[in-house]
Structure 1
Amino acid sequence: MSAVLSEAEAMARALELASRGPRHGVNPQVGCVLLSPAGEVLAEGWHRGAGTPHAEVDALSALTDPALAAGATAVVTLEPCNHQGRTGPCSIALIEAGVARVVFAIADPGVRSAGGAERMRAAGVDVQQGLLAEAAEEFIRPWLTSVRLHRPFVTVKWASSLDGRAAAADGTSQWITGPEARADVHRRRAEADAIVVGTGTVLADDPALTARDPDADGALFPHQPAPVVIGTRAVPSGSRLREHPLPLRHYATHELADVLDALYADEVRSVFVEGGPTLASAFLAAGLADEVLVYLAPTLLGGPRTALTELGVGTIEAQRRLTITDLSRLGDDIRLVARPRPGAWAPTKE
């Protein structure tokens, strides 16, 4: 006999299923559980990436008998889509399958993809929104932020000593943190659509901007973030960036909002800023950082090479407050994840 779940338990399971899909890319992670009228699990599905069946269709295709969908309940982490993209509308697929009830956590904020709930209700499907909404919001926060703001979700990362230095006085910085922290950085790079640095970092460090798997002797992860350089100086022809698996995108400008607009138009939904103190501070000062990722090493360096430069804070009343969302130990180092407090640092759109 199949497991019997409440709708809340099924939503928790759907979120677990969603986590199996890729965090990178233009599509969100979505999971779906199909329940019989008695609450038995009929099938499960999740989205495996762009161009593959969406979670609802994946679950429908996993049914041992398509007729079982008639009268069933679909529990989905995100409102079923209502548009024809690389795949067809999930709202129509559920209607045509005979699903009687759809429970989803959060509404789809996409201009083209929203409207599935309305279409299903018009077809006589019982539709309910909001189950485990807070958990689902947090789970796909980067994608939701990107779609709502029409720009990529921005993570600003740096590594520093306890006294806030990103390098020694002579500019050397390899390595402030230990291998566990560096491995974590590479795993997070592999979850981003793009990795961003400034021309100053390119000229000083000649970075590769690849994501390497520490569990595979440093081999490249299957997914690589696209290398992005911001700044008016030229990238040398012999730069290691020229050997990256993906084409280099060089924006000869200092207008960060314009760069983010261009990246969003090119289906980039998340960027990982690793460009050194100048670029990190520029994103923060402009209110364009959605998340701060800091690796703190138990060492002291002193000197002028601070992790951040000018943020436009002239008085203590203007300090930029954040909320810490994660604090973990990685070897000898500390990983800290924080986000701007609601209403603070908000970027403006003309």
Structure 2
Amino acid sequence: MSDEFYMDLALNEAWKYQILTYPNPAVGCVICDKFGKILSIKAHKKAGYLHAEPMAILFALFNLNDEILNKFLNEYNVCFTQSFKTLTELNEADLDAKFCYEFILSNHGNLLNDASAYVTLEPCSHHGKTPACAILIKQLGFKRVIISVCDENKIASGGAKILKEAGIDVKIGVLKEHTKKLMLPFKTWLNGNFIFYKLAMSANGVITGGIISNELSRTHMHKLRGVIDLLVIGGNTVRVDRPVLDARLANAKAPDVAIYSTKRDFDTDIALFSVKNRNVEILDNLEVINKPLVMIEGGEQMLKKIALGEILNVKWVLIYQSSEFKNADNIKLDVRLKPLYEGRLGDDRYGWYEVC
């Protein structure tokens, strides 16, 4: 298989956690043995937790040796008062980065000698909330590290240099244009604000009439609400739907809300106004918004204004599409979108699209 094949797998995995890693970038990693057999495909899931490289390395070791997995389960459960029993449970957990890093160093048994790592972003070189990934790879005896794009952050960059000086074969630039798209939100919120629009629709394009997407899709959306700086919603949607707009399905903090409306008369019994520790603003001009990460939820009229460039600089649209038809009028818009990533959440499809 080609380097492009493996890097594409890393990119696809990273896209599953797009935005959810805020304020960090989405990063994917594939670990292969010296024969090219895939040992693991993992990604960075959440800021402050395992980076993509140690996550992939840890699960590669689990797949190579059941004793390592069992030892990890025992020691992690004792240390953090957990009751994990399976690989699936570990995969879904937010594992402590420091513990995992030290466990890898103490238990790798040279099993990854001459292995290869494919990573979408240059492994970090500094010790911040998590230890340096480049140092970890160096100490495990990897033979090759294939990097899509270099890290432009002066603090975190330098991983490729560390690896090269250790005698590791480093290749840079594989599928770099694809990775630049993946990195766009991160690059944008670092220097301004990244704004995206979320839309849920039925199989036949209906966006009204109550709950449309399945619970997996709604949970994913609640996870996004849990990390954004601000949620923008149209005034008409608030009046008609009377939403809560919290992040309960993800057990996360509800976002602050900006209601876009020229009229300020809202029924304060609407659920969104009673969420604790939330700031709610009513704005007739969204250009004043300067938060780094903003998600917009709204109806057809809001999307039309965005598509026509009347409000905000929306770069991407996130669409959840159910597999069910609804007996109602479908959305009617003249908008051209370019697909960036498409995946599945149970029976629902979802995708990130660039506004052309």
Q: Among 258, 281, 297, which residue is 1:229 paired with?
A: 258
Distance 1:32 1:293 in 2: 24
Partner amino acid for 1:31? G
Partner amino acid for 1:11? M
Structure 2 CA distance for partners of 1:165 and 1:45, relative to 1, 3 Å: closer
Distance 2:233 2:164 in 1: 47
Structure 2 CA distance for partners of 1:107 and 1:191, relative to 1, 3 Å: farther
- Secondary structure of residue in 2 paired with 1:68: coil
Distance 2:15 2:342 in 1: 21
Partner amino acid for 1:98? G
Q: Is the 8 A contact 1:109 1:147 kept in 2?
A: no
Q: CA deviation at 1:87?
A: 0.8
Q: CA deviation at 1:155?
A: 1.6
TM-score, normalized by length of structure 2?
0.61
Which runs of structure 2 are paired with 1:249-264 in the superposition (5 Å)? 249-251=279-281, 253-254=283-284, 256-259=286-289, 261-262=290-291, 264=292
Please state if 1:277 is matched with 2:293: no
Distance 2:124 2:10 in 1: 16
Please state if 1:92 is matched with 2:88: no
Distance 1:91 1:336 in 2: 32
Corresponding residue for residue 221 of structure 2: 189
Structure 2 CA distance for partners of 1:241 and 1:208, relative to 1, 3 Å: same
Q: Among 263, 272, 291, which residue is 1:241 paired with?
A: 272
Distance 2:350 2:58 in 1: 41
Q: Is the 8 A contact 2:223 2:250 kept in 1?
A: no
Corresponding residue for residue 117 of structure 1: 160
Q: CA deviation at 1:136?
A: 4.1
Deviations 1:227-281 (A, max 9, x none): 422458487653301444x74233455553542x33x2xxx4x523327735862
Q: CA deviation at 1:289?
A: 0.9
Percent of pairs with identical residues: 24
Corresponding residue for residue 21 of structure 2: 25
Distance 2:154 2:267 in 1: 40
Corresponding residue for residue 55 of structure 1: 52
Q: CA deviation at 1:290?
A: 1.3
Which runs of structure 2 are paired with 1:263-342 in the superposition (5 Å)? 264=292, 268=293, 271-274=295-298, 277=301, 281=305, 284-292=309-317, 322-325=336-339, 339-341=354-356
Distance 1:118 1:16 in 2: 26
Q: CA deviation at 1:84?
A: 3.4
How many aligned positions are there? 292
Corresponding residue for residue 193 of structure 2: 151
Q: CA deviation at 1:196?
A: 1.9
Runs of 4+ in 1 over 6 A off after TM superposition: 182-185, 294-298, 334-337
Deviations 1:126-157 (A, max 9, x none): 3212223344455x366446446532341254
Q: Is the 8 A contact 1:199 1:234 kept in 2?
A: no
Q: Among 243, 254, 270, which residue is 1:207 paired with?
A: 243
Distance 2:17 2:132 in 1: 19
Structure 2 CA distance for partners of 1:338 and 1:55, relative to 1, 3 Å: closer
Q: CA deviation at 1:75?
A: 1.2
Corresponding residue for residue 68 of structure 1: 111
Superposition CA RMSD, Å = 4.6
Unaligned runs of 5+ in 1: 167-172, 213-219, 309-319, 329-333, 342-350
Q: Is the 8 A contact 1:22 1:49 kept in 2?
A: no
Distance 1:254 1:83 in 2: 44
Please state if 1:7 is matched with 2:49: no
